[in-house]
Chains A and B, each alone.
Chain A
Amino acid sequence: GENVEQHPSTLSVQEGDSAVIKCTYSDSASNYFPWYKQELGKGPQLIIDIRSNVGEKKDQRIAVTLNKTAKHFSLHITETQPEDSAVYFCAASSSQGSQGNLIFGKGTKLSVKP
């Protein structure tokens, strides 16, 4: 089955710097890759997602890139702000087999220092 590895587990940056979180996946049939942000004591919220037919997607300060050949995808946050501090999860899913169930990475705790 699918396996998703996420790095780093913790990341500390200065306000205004960029942050990059990387994930790799194992199942070449995976075709949907969402990123979730989870604030302390709350449920995860989708911040951006990408499908396998595109290589990059941007939404203001957030971008995701996908390399299908290497089976990895990354989250890029530019001009980080203290409110970006949270745990970020990547996930992968395939429309085949498991009916679109998501397999999650273990998360990255991002701290943005003012």
Chain B
Amino acid sequence: DGGITQSPKYLFRKEGQNVTLSCEQNLNHDAMYWYRQDPGQGLRLIYYSQIVNDFQKGDIAEGYSVSREKKESFPLTVTSAQKNPTAFYLCASKVWGGVNEQFFGPGTRLTVL
């Protein structure tokens, strides 16, 4: 089955620790995205990547970092510099270029203790 997987589903972190969220897709999509979702808010773009070894900051990139070493993978690191990291994180991918459907993963809920 083709799709996007995110792991883990739930993640707990102590304050001051970095944590990495996994996102993998086998849809052969070039573009991948990370969003943050808070209650009552829409999806806010953290980072996106249109091609391997290249990525751009979204609207709320501070305190986050990404890498894109493989087409299939786009991990997100939430660093200790992120002041309010507790949220639901969503990864998405799409065919690069133009406007077309983004496919979303099931999400990771991060809680900072």
Q: Contact check, B41 vs A106: say whether CB atoms are below 8 A apart.
A: yes
8 residue pairs, one from A and one from B, having the closest CB atoms = A32-B99, A43-B104, A104-B42, A106-B42, A100-B99, A104-B43, A93-B99, A43-B106
Bin chain A's interface residue count.
Answer: 20 to 34
Query: Given A99-B50, A100-B94, A101-B48, does the pair A44, B99 have CB atoms closer than 8 Å?
Result: no
* Complex CA distance for A34 and B107, rounded to whole angstroms: 19
Q: Contact check, B107 vs A43: say whether CB atoms are below 8 A apart.
A: yes
Q: Which residue on A lies nearest to B38, using beta carbons?
A: A106
Residues of B within 8 A of A114 (CB): none
Residues of A with Cβ closer than 8 Å to B? 4, 6, 9, 31-32, 34, 36, 41-46, 49, 51, 89, 93-95, 99-102, 104-107
- List CB contacts (< 8 Å) of B15-64 with chain A: 31, 33, 40-45, 48, 50, 58
Distance (whole angstroms) from the CB of A93 to the closest CB of chain B: 5
* Complex CA distance for A49 and B99, rounded to whole angstroms: 11
Give the interface centre of B4, B33, B99, B101 by most chain A CB atoms within 10 Å. B99
24 CB contacts below 8 A, A to B, read A4-B42, A9-B40, A32-B100, A34-B101, A41-B109, A43-B104, A43-B105, A43-B107, A44-B104, A46-B103, A51-B99, A89-B42, A99-B31, A99-B50, A100-B94, A100-B98, A100-B99, A100-B100, A101-B45, A102-B43, A104-B44, A106-B41, A107-B40, A107-B42
